[in-house]
A and B are shown apart, each in its own frame.
Chain A
Amino acid sequence: MAAVAALIVGALMLLALGANPITGYHALLRGAFGSSDALTSTALKAVPLILVGVGICIAFRANVLNIGGEGQMVVGGLLGTLVALAFPGIPGPLMVPLVLVAGMVGGGLWGAIPGALKAYFNVNEILSTIMLNIVAVQLMNYLLAGPLIDKTLTTTFARIPQTRRLSPNADLPIISHATGLHAGVVVALLAAVLVYVLLWRTTLGFRLRAVGLSREASRYSGMSVKGTITLALTLSGAMAGLAGAVLVFGSLSHRMVTDGSATGFTGSAGFNGIVAALFGALNPLWTIVSAFIFGGLLVGGTAMQIAVQVPSSLIVALNGLVVVFVVSIEIVRRRYRLRLEPALGAGDVGPGPPPAIEGTEGLPGSAEMVEG
């Protein structure tokens, strides 16, 4: 419903810009899903969205609004890069897991800071994560243009902020040489399944969701609310950090590169992952599906740009609309359910819907941002 609404607004925007929306959307679909190359690009674009998105599922389910995916990706990518630069000789089977874990540690650390600040100092996590995004990007710009810059590029005009080619031992294994599909896809799918299991099949997951639904009740039942909040943001950041590392070691150039803009390294995946997770009803498995759709939108956006001369930033605007629509439609759904339930009676409903089709009702109605 939110997607349809956003697509309609998008079509109106295309019309207003003097482009034919049918031609535009057709080019977008073909560019995203029309060939095996297109599908590969879409899948690879979806990888960071899945990873950030399942991290967002963890945080939002615990009622912690992590907007820091961008910064956590950057720090994850940086730490992975530093490890690869420091120990280039480690053999591949050991190296790849090592740099990916380094990414998770980096992102986890960047999530743990706002997590602890929220839990122990009542600092609003939305604001602190956004600020840490800015800090991370500036840190990256400094490191990539300074101490970590590719020294082989001696000519000044060629000095892009990027590292030298990282150790080939750290390259993510290629699955299909014809299309360039790499193991990042496997990592993302595996992570999504693990997060699903974590959230719904373990006590830790129960604790995360319980704290998300009611901090008071969790406290009375003896759970450590502060620890859980910190952990939620740490795990969430670790997933984004993993996304950053996958972006570095799965890239075609096998370097960490940016262009000096705020989203030069991440390609906004830290924000778009939030969109994917919300659209996937904060369920890791549905997030895979929605990340694939949004990956397609991003890849197809470029094709649309060529076909109808509409800048692909239209997709960014549409993503924003999807977010607004998803959170706005929430209330309509909730009202409908309220009216329905008393009529059915509690006993007649039978076992609740399986988690896989659960709605966003786990998303708490009001963020208790700073308590008392």
Chain B
Amino acid sequence: MKEFLTVSVLTATAASGIRLAIPFLLASLGETMGQRSGVLNLGVEGVMLLGAFGAYYTALQTHSLWLGALVGIGVGLVLGVVTAVVNVTLKAEQGISGIGIYLFGLGFSDLLFQKLVGTPTPINSLPVLKVPVLARLPLLGKMLFQHSILVYVALLLVPVLAFVLNRTTYGTKIKAVGENPAAADSLGVSVTKIRYSTVILGSVLAGLAGAALALELGIFQQNLTQGEGFIAVALVYFGAWRPTGVLAGSLLYGMVAAVVLTWNTLGIIPQSASGLASMAPAVITVVALVFVARRVRQPAALARAYQRGG
């Protein structure tokens, strides 16, 4: 424990906690937008997996990480349209259609990986972009300002999306559609259009989250995400459907993961129990859900398809 409580180890752990929080953050920010408009997208995990593979494979072939991230976004876009058609237009049961998308992503990403790549080949991971001046700050510099570009993008999205939700007409429409679609509809807001836009945006961010994961690790493997997409969905509840709340939740998860990793390396947790320690995020989630469910009200129309006059 003494080795852990040194300034350099603690700052390094905090920095890696922020890095590990980014896939959670991107995916759950996107999911927040969808859920605010009343659509529960449970397929995030599948979108992340396919986004991760797309980004990995592109980077492997072209050696361009930018192109990789772009392909991750593209994968999210395509799957977002599919999800919107299934959940909004075809009014499918959202809890189950998402599991379908997940299974599809799980199987298809592995299929493509085995067929196109075969043996795991590492790629360059995202380069660190030091923010001028700020990166040289003591402690904070290493923690906050020596990350890859996707980290900054994700963190910037928090105030941007909070602004969109709370200060723009579009945000008001999203919330109206999520709370009372019939009323929104009667005022001339297109429930379908709003929900399509939020679901597609959410899926794009999930694809980018997958890309961030693969490009940060520089590798792809079967079931790379290991439930992170599902945890991202839970984080939206945890964060009470607010971007800032989601940020707090993501950081907590990132930090827990980073601490477990560091403790493992330092030998504070015995090797045999490291598996037990990796239960922590799932257990925390269940406990957190209990508290959240008692205190926070979810969007009234969440997971309900809208039927005019129905």
Contact = CB atoms under 8 A, between A and B. Distances in A.
A367 B298 CA distance: 13
B107 A367 contact: no
Contact of B95 (A261, A275, A326, A367): A367
Interface residues of B, number: 55
Contacts of B302: 369
Given A311-B115, A367-B94, A131 B230 contact: yes
A8 interface: no
Given A65-B96, A274-B99, A323-B96, A316 B110 contact: yes
Interface in A312-337: 313-328, 330-332
A271 B99 CA distance: 9
B7 interface: no
Contacts of A330: 90, 92-93
Contacts of B234: 127, 131
A117 B100 contact: no
Contacts of A363: 93
Contact of B272 (A146, A331, A369): A146
B90 A320 contact: no
Contacts of A124: 237, 289, 293
Nearest to B233: A127
A224 B234 CA distance: 28
Given A124-B289, A367-B93, A369-B303, A320 B101 contact: yes
A324 B41 CA distance: 13
Contacts of B105: 320
Given A130-B227, A324-B97, A327-B96, A313 B110 contact: yes
Contact of B226 (A123, A262, A326, A327): A262
Contacts of A318: 107
Nearest to A363: B93
Contacts of A131: 230-231, 234, 282-283, 285-286, 289
A145 interface: yes
Interface stretch (B155-163, B165-173, B208-216, B273-281): B273-281
Given A135-B282, A323-B103, A324-B92, A141 B97 contact: no
The SS class assigned to the A binding surface is helix
Given A122-B294, A131-B234, A278-B96, A138 B107 contact: no
Contacts of A320: 46, 99-108
Interface string B114-127: 11000000000000
Given A131-B234, A331-B91, A126 B42 contact: yes
Given A313-B107, A327-B86, A321 B100 contact: yes
Contacts of B294: 121-122
Nearest to A335: B91
A139 interface: yes
Given A262-B226, A310-B115, A369-B303, A315 B99 contact: no
B133 interface: no
B100 A322 contact: yes
Interface string A121-158: 11110111011111100110110011000000000000
Contacts of B94: 367
B93 A327 contact: yes
Contact of B99 (A117, A141, A311, A323): A323
Nearest to A372: B297
A67 interface: yes
Contacts of B304: 366
A138 B115 contact: no
A139 B275 CA distance: 8
A365 interface: yes
B100 A324 contact: yes
A324 B305 contact: no
Interface in A215-232: none
Contact of B282 (A134, A271, A332, A366): A134
Interface string A323-361: 111111011100000000000000000000000000000
Given A138-B279, A141-B275, A322-B100, A311 B293 contact: no
Given A131-B285, A138-B276, A314 B111 contact: yes
A123 B289 contact: yes
Given A127-B234, A138-B279, A261-B223, A370 B114 contact: no
A67 B99 contact: yes
B285 A370 contact: no
Contact of B290 (A13, A117, A146): A117
Contacts of B285: 127, 131
Contacts of B114: 311, 313
**Closest 5 A-B residue pairs measured CB to CB?**
A316-B107, A323-B100, A320-B103, A320-B104, A317-B107
18 contacts: A65-B95, A124-B293, A127-B233, A135-B282, A138-B275, A138-B279, A261-B222, A311-B111, A317-B104, A317-B108, A320-B104, A320-B107, A327-B96, A328-B90, A328-B92, A330-B93, A367-B95, A370-B298
Given A131-B234, A327-B92, A365-B91, 14 more contacts: A141-B275, A145-B272, A261-B223, A262-B227, A271-B99, A271-B103, A278-B96, A311-B115, A313-B108, A313-B110, A331-B91, A366-B305, A367-B94, A367-B95
Interface of A: 13, 17, 65, 67, 117, 121-124, 126-128, 130-135, 138-139, 141-142, 145-146, 261-262, 271, 274-275, 278, 310-311, 313-328, 330-332, 363-367, 369-370
